[in-house]
Amino acid sequence: MTNIPRQLWVSLRSFGVFFLLWWLLHLWNANPLQLPSPMKVLEALWMLLREGEITEHASVSTLRMLLALTLAIVVAVPLGFLMGLSRRAEQYVDPLVEMLRPISGIAWLPLALFIFGVGDTLPVFIMFYVGFFPILLNTVAGVRQTDARLLAAARTMGIGRLPLLIHVLVPSALPTVMVGIRLAFAASWAAIVAAELIGAPSGLGFAIEWYRQLLMTPKVFAFILAIGVVGYLCDLGLRDLQRKLTPWAEGTGVAP
Amino acid sequence: MRNRMFDSRRSVLIRNITLPVLLIVVWQIWASTLPPGSPAPAPLKVLQTLADLLSTGSLVSATLQSLGRVLLGFAVGSGLGIAMGLAMGASPAVRENLDPIIESFRPIAPMAILPIAILWLGTGTPTALAIVAYASFFPVLINTVHGVSRVERKLILAARTMGVSRWTILTRVVLPGAMPSILLGTRLAMGVAWTAIIAAELAVGAKSGGGGSGGIGQMMFVFYAYNIDLNAIVVCMAVVGVVALLIDQMFRLFEKRLIPWRH
Amino acid sequence: MSDNAKSPKLRLAGVTKSFVAPRTGQQTLAVAEMNLDIETGEFICIVGPSGCGKSTVLNMIAGLDVPTNGVIEKDGQAIPGPGADRGVMFQDYALMPWQTVEGNVGFGLRHGTPGQDLTKAERTQRIAHFIDMVGLRGSEHKYPHQLSGGMRQRVALARLLANGPDILLLDEPLGALDAQTRLILQAELLRIWGETSPVTQRKTAIFITHDIEEAVLLADRVVVMSTHPGRVREVVTIDLPRPRAGTARTNPRFGELVEQIWSLIRDEAYRAIGGDEPVPALTEKATV
């Protein structure tokens, strides 16, 4: 961490080489439709930013993602606590979870298209589904790995059952739950392209497909870049949230 | 958190199947209340469709086709991932220089690359392979690098003091030491690859107007857009799930064989 | 010292504990027929080889575990379960990692029974008082992972005292510390316990340790346990004068007492590290 200027330099150098290779490849390829020059892509990116088109699609996609993630948290976390605490609940629910989990969100697309049609609901549903499992699994794990001695210590201080849940179990499980949320985000964001490509009239995934059909390749590249950037920024935001909510986690080595 | 250690196996089993059975029964009842021509899927019809598809052999061949592609793409992607991972793990210079590029591509999902792949490679098998390879690459790479970094410095130093060549150290000390992480990476990659192939086949099927590639994803698309049959779609979904499970189990078995010292 | 008309502060009568292995159903007798009376203000140390049931006994007194047979009474009444009246200091501190020092010390006061009748201001004051008493003023806002072992130990002690228990249960609290920190904290412990105060003002304390010298230094009486199954071998009265903090170790009687106790445990200790008898499992922390 004392090498930040150096790291920046190395990054710039690597990207420089990357762009150079790209440009050379572009020259060699001779088909601008397939591989536009880096300059053209940057130009397209700049134009899209200026016209606000990228921000428009990006915000639509991001909003859908936030909605889906929130829904997933609201359903999966309480369920996860229930399953983690009650053997019975786990015995009832787990088989269903384990049967659905291997069926990827993508595999749901045709059926979901039938049920929801093209629109906002479809991407949200797919992202909800994809994000649900990591959060659930991590919540159960978080509850299970609660140090029994902390619970014992709390009981020797005369702490009742509900306060035990709220003041010991929840904070103890929180770091693992946060990791689950970050994993869920990564998985959902990866699914958004597929969902919007086929099933939405707007958003970054839609835009990629739209411009591909119009053979406006620089714009396709630009939108792909946007997906990467937004994903990266959101993850940074989540990491920050993680640090704020669970400041002790880094010390104990639970959270990455 | 009372532990009921003495729950009989039978009562656990009963609880296990309660929800799934209940859901299927409710589903069937609901489907029965619909008018006879309704396209909505129903459990009994799904089973019927399963039998039909199996008897014509189309289900099996489509599954095998997808699996073949996955294995090929996975082999390419993970091969590259391990090679690069070892290089990056072994040499801090390589790692430093490649890291910015790799980290920038990581958030770009395989599906986002699909339009470009179609642009470059058309709407056939090569595209599907490329997507799978791309998808498999990152989990393997990241876990390989992690695995190499966890190989104890002491082991490497010990080998050096015995006059062992660098190449041999790589193959005989680092590789086995990193194996648990590498295998974890391949197991994760295979899961991602399977999802990717379905997605690729679905999307490619959509683009190529129903012809072209074959495979389970393709089949699903056909049943969605051409021979509309929701029951068949459900069958395909179930197959996707079952295969995913089987793949995961196989990889776990494979892991146990290859790294017995860990189990 | 004991008054036969009044019940002792703590009484263990015929206390037995056996564990049943969940799969095999095999029974292990961890503690057999333990009888012990402890008076108010006494400092009792329990020593014994690994696996003799010391921690099991402590857990039962704390109410975290239930005797298979026999009864444990406090002030003449059977103990109902865990409670703040019998505070525990655990072997690895059991501090809440997400709470600061201040939050940990005040945990019982804020969420449990000890602080029920206090106002918020009174609670804050009490917390500050005990943080000060253990010498951690200035560290209130640090997290456990930022503290050294000795500091964490003091937080655990402050938390224990802040909850105002009338019996202190300490399960090898100094075991994880280096030797020098241990010496410092032993003196601290005696001071806080009230070595220099009259007997009636002292809390009743039960302290488990492996370290015989530590036991002789701290205790009024040392309960020597033997293993297989765990039972009381002998109770040795420590007739060293108080305060002991600076002076006890140079007293020749100190060495005699240590030797006396060691001779009681010695054979079993030898056996425990691989003599004629089969070695008990080294997962001592779980089974004791």
Q: Is residue A25 part of a domain?
A: no
The single-letter code of the amino acid at C254 is: F
Residue C168 pLDDT > 90: yes
| Residue C162 token pair | 């802040």
Q: For residues A177 and C36, give the distance between their C-alpha atoms in angstroms, rounded to a whole number.
A: 47
By C-alpha distance, the chain A residue nearest B117 is A34
Among C64, C98, C148, C206, the strongest candidate for a mutation testing the A interface, having the largest count of A CBs within 10 A, is C98
- End-to-end Cα distance, chain C: 31
Segment C161-182 shows an average pLDDT of: 90
Residue C126 pLDDT > 90: yes
pLDDT, mean over chain A: 88
Among A33, A197, A238, the strongest candidate for a mutation testing the B interface, having the largest count of B CBs within 10 A, is A197
Q: How many domains does chain A have?
A: 1
By C-alpha distance, the chain C residue nearest A153 is C94
CB pairs under 8 A between A and C: 79
Check residue C254 and give its pLDDT: 94
Q: Does the bond joining B36 to the residue before it have cis omega, within 30 degrees of 0? A: no
Residue A124 pLDDT > 90: yes
Residue A53 pLDDT > 50: yes
Residue C102 pLDDT > 50: yes
Q: What is the CATH number of the domain that holds A92?
A: 1.10.3720.10
pLDDT, mean over chain B: 85
Q: Is residue A18 part of a domain?
A: no
Residue A31 pLDDT > 90: no
Q: For residues A89 and B24, give the distance between their C-alpha atoms in angstroms, rounded to a whole number.
A: 19
Contact: C98, A174; criterion CB under 8 Å: yes
Find which of A13-27, C19-33, C129-143 is predicted with most confidence, using mean pLDDT: C129-143
Answer for the pair C52, C172: CB distance below 8 angstroms, yes or no: no
Q: Is residue A142 part of a domain?
A: yes
Q: For residues B255 and B258, give the distance between their C-alpha atoms in angstroms, rounded to a whole number.
A: 5
pLDDT in tens, B208-228: 554 445 788 888 888 888 888
Check residue C4 and give its pLDDT: 47
Q: For residues A94 and B17, give the distance between their C-alpha atoms in angstroms, rounded to a whole number.
A: 10
Residue A255 pLDDT > 60: no
| Residue B191 token pair | 């899961």
Q: Is residue A34 part of a domain?
A: no
Counting other chains too, the contacts that A231-240 makes at CB distance below 8 Å and 24 or more residues apart are: A231/A186, A231/A189, A231/B107, A231/B108, A232/B104, A232/B107, A234/A62, A234/A65, A234/A185, A234/A189, A235/A182, A235/A185, A235/A186, A235/B107, A238/A178, A238/A181, A238/A182, A238/A185, A239/A182
Q: Is residue A1 part of a domain?
A: no
Segment A35-44 shows an average pLDDT of: 85
Q: How confident is the model at residue B147 (pLDDT cuts 50, 70, 90)?
A: confident
Q: Is residue A112 part of a domain?
A: yes
Q: Which residues of chain A make contact with C115, given a CB cutoff of 8 A?
A: none
Q: Which residues of chain B make contact with A8, given a CB cutoff of 8 A?
A: none
Q: Is residue A183 part of a domain?
A: yes
Task: Identify which of C35, C27, C28, C30 has the alpha carbon closest to the alpha carbon of residue C50.
Answer: C30
Domains of chain B: 45-262 (1.10.3720.10)
- Closest-CA distance of chain C to residue A184, Å: 24
What is the domain extent for residue A233? 39-247
- Closest-CA distance of chain C to residue A246, Å: 7
Nearest-10 crossing angle of helices B9-32, B43-56 = 90
* C204-208 β-sheet, strand order: C86-89, C167-171, C204-208, C43-47, C221-226, C231-237
| Residue A183 token pair | 């994993």
Segment C63-73 shows an average pLDDT of: 91
- Closest-CA distance of chain A to residue B102, Å: 10
Check residue A2 and give its pLDDT: 56
pLDDT, mean over chain C: 87
Q: Which residue has the higher pLDDT, C151 or A3?
A: C151
Q: Which residue has the higher pLDDT, B88 or A254?
A: B88
Radius of gyration of chain A (CA): 23
pLDDT in tens, C2-33: 444 567 889 998 899 988 887 788 888 888 88
pLDDT in tens, B59-72: 888 899 899 989 99
Q: Is residue A216 part of a domain?
A: yes
CA angle C137, C141, C147 (to 5 degrees): 80
| Residue burial A205-223, b: 16+ Cβ < 10 Å; e: rest | bbbbbbbbeeeebbbbbbb
Bridge partners, residue C16, by sequence: C69
